[in-house]
């Protein structure tokens, strides 16, 4: 089964999303894209700084760990940087996330997303096993935060649903959307191999922003799979689905622990 090769007739740079070429070929008036690597940095800074500010303010107001608002804010505030900023900056400085970032879904993305999810799980499990042999047992920061939250189970289930749906969409807008496209544009201007550079850089940024040194290997192989899906399909549909599948499998054990 071969991946549909995107038709990039009229694409402004190697690695551009297929949606840009489709829009140009259909006669849609297109604006010059003024967003770039600086917006990638802003996106990731917001994903780090906004949670710190919000949680600090909440804690100062007496709303701390163990409360529902604090728990919800812990998981959702990073999405302001990951999801809202890429959407906003491409709307203000370009043609919006659908055209500029490839935020588009087709039926073929479902199949490739499922296969990508399986690849993420398989390769991630392999690397996790090797990591465990070297460093011993380890978990994920998000998983530990969910298990130790001390909030009603209904709220935990809500967050788990968001982690499987909204989380992948926001993170893919940032890493396989904004970061991939901005890096590819920059690499093309420099005369580098745009698609390979964008694939590796977007995966590395995805890995490092999690701030979990022991899970670097696991996160890197997952990031590479998702970036390859974006490179081959020219859209975010398959990476979003694959990311969601990977997250869904990861939280199954958490659900078992919580309700056992």
Per-residue pLDDT reduced to its tens digit, 218-258: 999 999 999 999 999 999 999 999 999 999 998 887 888 77
Measured distance CA(186)–CA(179) in Å, rounded: 11
Residues 6+ apart with CB under 8 A from 118: 245
DSSP 8-state symbol, 236: S
Burial-class residue 3 by CB neighbours within 10 Å (0-12, 13-18, 19+).
Answer: middle
Number of domains in the chain: 1
What would the two tokens of residue 8 be? 């990039």
In a domain, 159, yes or no: yes
CA torsion sign for 107, 108, 113, 119 is: positive
Task: Evaluate whether 171 touches 219 at the Cβ level (below 8 Å).
Answer: no
Measured distance CA(219)–CA(120) in Å, rounded: 9
What would the two tokens of residue 75 be? 């998981």
In a domain, 9, yes or no: no
Measured distance CA(225)–CA(73) in Å, rounded: 29
In a domain, 13, yes or no: no
Closest CA to 207 of 117, 100, 199: 199
What is the SS3 assignment for 136?
coil
In a domain, 157, yes or no: yes
**Count of residues for the chain?**
260
pLDDT digits (tens), the chain, 260 positions: 344 455 555 678 999 999 999 999 899 999 999 999 999 999 999 999 999 999 999 999 999 999 999 999 999 999 999 999 999 999 999 999 999 999 999 999 999 999 999 999 999 999 999 999 999 988 887 887 887 888 898 999 999 999 999 999 999 999 999 999 999 999 999 999 999 999 999 999 999 999 999 999 999 999 999 999 999 999 999 999 999 999 999 888 788 877 77
Measured distance CA(35)–CA(230) in Å, rounded: 19
Beta-carbon-side half-sphere exposure of residue 4 (alpha carbons within 13 Å): 16
For residue 191, the Cα-to-chain-centroid distance in whole angstroms is 27
Closest CA to 207 of 198, 215, 199: 215
Quickly count helices (H) and strands (E) in the chain: 14, 0
Measured distance CA(255)–CA(260) in Å, rounded: 8
For Cα atoms 69, 73, 78, give the angle at the middle one, nearest 5 degrees: 175
| Single pTM value for the model | 0.94
In a domain, 196, yes or no: yes
What's the domain range around 126?
A: 18-259
For the chain, helix, strand, coil in percent to 5 are 75, 0, 25
Measured distance CA(186)–CA(207) in Å, rounded: 21
In a domain, 1, yes or no: no
In a domain, 5, yes or no: no
In a domain, 95, yes or no: yes
User: How confident is the model at residue 10, as a pLDDT?
Assistant: 60
Task: Evaluate whether 144 touches 156 at the Cβ level (below 8 Å).
Answer: no
């Amino acid at each position: 089964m071969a991946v549909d090769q995107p038709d990039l007739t009229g694409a402004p740079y190697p690695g551009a999303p297929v949606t840009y070429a489709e829009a140009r070929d259909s006669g849609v008036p297109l604006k010059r894209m003024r967003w770039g690597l600086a917006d990638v940095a802003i996106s990731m800074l917001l994903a780090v700084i906004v949670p710190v500010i919000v949680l600090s303010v909440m804690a100062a107001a007496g709303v701390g760990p163990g409360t529902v608002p604090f728990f919800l804010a812990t998981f959702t505030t990073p999405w302001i940087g990951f999801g809202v900023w890429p959407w906003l900056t491409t709307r203000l400085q370009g043609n919006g996330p659908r055209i500029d970032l490839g935020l588009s879904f087709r039926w073929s993305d479902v199949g490739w997303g499922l296969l990508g999810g399986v690849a993420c799980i398989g390769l991630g499990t392999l690397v996790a096993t090797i990591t465990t042999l070297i460093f011993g047992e380890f978990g994920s920061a998000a998983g530990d935060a969910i298990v130790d939250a001390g909030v009603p189970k209904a709220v935990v289930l809500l967050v788990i649903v968001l982690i499987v749906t909204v989380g992948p969409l926001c993170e893919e807008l940032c890493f396989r959307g904004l970061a991939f496209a901005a890096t590819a544009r920059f690499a093309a201007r420099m005369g580098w191999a745009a698609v390979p550079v964008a694939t590796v850089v977007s995966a590395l940024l995805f890995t490092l922003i999690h701030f979990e040194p022991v899970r670097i290997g696991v996160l890197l192989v997952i990031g590479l799979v998702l970036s390859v899906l974006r490179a081959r399909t020219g859209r975010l549909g398959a990476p979003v689905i694959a990311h969601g599948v990977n997250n869904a499998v990861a939280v199954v054990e958490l659900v078992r622990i919580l309700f056992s």
